[in-house]
Amino acid sequence: MSMADRDGKIWMDGKLIDWRDAKIHVLTHTLHYGMGVFEGVRAYQTADGGSAIFRLKEHTKRLLNSAKIFQMDVPFDQETLEAAQREVVRENKLASCYLRPIIWIGSEKLGVSAKGNTIHVAIAAWPWGAYLGEEGLSRGIRVKTSSFTRHHVNVSMVRAKASGWYVNSILANQEATADGYDEALLLDVDGYVSEGSGENFFLVNRGKLFTPDLSSCLDGITRDTVITLAKEAGIEVIEKRITRDEVYTADEAFFTGTAAEVTPIRELDNRTIGSGARGPITEKLQAAFFDVVSGKSAQHQDWLTKI
């Protein structure tokens, strides 16, 4: 089914409209120059039979911070955008779903300067299962180190989840999947591990959890979730620069992200990671994550916003 041709409602500039009517002009500034910001958010069916959006406040705050970085004057406040996301899930009668809030620059004029153009906001939601496949969640995925380097922090401001930055991600993912892999791992400009094309990266070695520092990767909300859950489980978490050969010799590795959730990595560059299966610490953290997002865990109920 086409993303453009389906039933449902999309929240656009303050009101719900029919899905098929959510359109923009071909001369929209963001379409040409790439300066827009967005979020990926998930709602999960909860153990009590209801539905809740996971870490809605943090996602919405990051969306607005991304816009602030680019000096985009968003015409809606955080409370309004949070309410709109709940409304979109409710009006589309969704239990578990993916939400895509996006902020873009309008079509009043083109040229590098966007001064004077209208800032628009839309929120869509739809069912979306395991981003890297259900089998990937249990068996793990095969990953290739990309020939494309992740952005330098003075080229792109990595705290912003920006539309234009994802050209780099698309190129890396295309390259990896064309070579028969499931996903790409990108290095930073100094050759250290940065992140996947749309995921943060973790490895496990000798019972400790390692993840790259945030100098060249997105400050992921699922990343923060996993770090919190790991510390609560008594697992030491170390944020540091990671070399590619450290990944080759790791006991376990996995990706995290709103779309990817917690996805094990069984292989990098034709080298088996650990036993070549989902490792025990990965499995423990994955189970803890799904217990939290579904409301099965008594911990972190404040991370769930009921619909």
Instruction: Give the residue among 62, 122, 118 at the shortest CA–CA distance from 258.
Output: 62
> What CA–CA distance (Å, rounded) separates 141 from 147?
19
**Residue 247: enclosing H or E segment and its boundaries?**
helix 244-248
Q: Count other C-beta atoms under 10 Å from residue 305's C-beta.
A: 19
Backbone angles phi, psi at 269, to 5 degrees: 55, 45
For residue 156 the two structure tokens come to: 């792109």
Contacts of 135 (CB under 8 A, 6+ apart): none
The single-letter DSSP state of residue 243 is -
Active site residue 161: yes
Question: Residue type at 203?
Answer: L
CB distance 195 to 217 below 8 Å:
yes
Contacts of 107 (CB under 8 A, 6+ apart): 24, 25, 27, 28, 29, 117
**Residue 226: enclosing H or E segment and its boundaries?**
helix 221-232
Q: Which of 23, 161, 231, 240 is catalytic?
A: 161
Question: Residue type at 115?
Answer: K
* Torsion sign, CA atoms 301, 84, 109, 107: positive
Q: What Rg, from alpha-carbon coordinates, does the chain have? A: 19
Catalytic positions are 161
